[in-house]
Amino acid sequence: MKQSMSRVAHCIDNGPMEGFWGILKRERYYGRRFTSREALVEMITKYIHYYNSERIQRKLHRMTPMEYHAAFAVAA
């Protein structure tokens, strides 16, 4: 792993992760109550699996991230 070294006020490397957490909160967190930390962690873990392997995304030409990655790996 390598630490990001972006300069102050140039946080473009954080953008994709902030976008992901925003989507997760909008789709699975807001409006729900979690009774334990374990329940919250389980929801996040399941959502990450769903996001990568089942959730179709328009910007990836109507593929899941895993399908897009596999198609890109074959093309390269």
Q: What secondary structure does DSSP assign to 6-65, as a single string?
A: PPTT--TTTHHHHHHHHHHIIIIITT---SSHHHHHHHHHHHHHHHHHT--BGGGTSB-H
Does 44 have pLDDT greater than 70? yes
Residue 1 predicted with pLDDT over 70: no
| pLDDT of amino acid 15 | 81
- Tell me the percentage of the chain whose pLDDT exceeds 90: 62
Give the global pTM. 0.72
- What distance in Å separates the CA atoms of residue 66 and residue 72, rounded to the nearest whole number? 10
Q: What is the pLDDT of residue 67?
A: 93
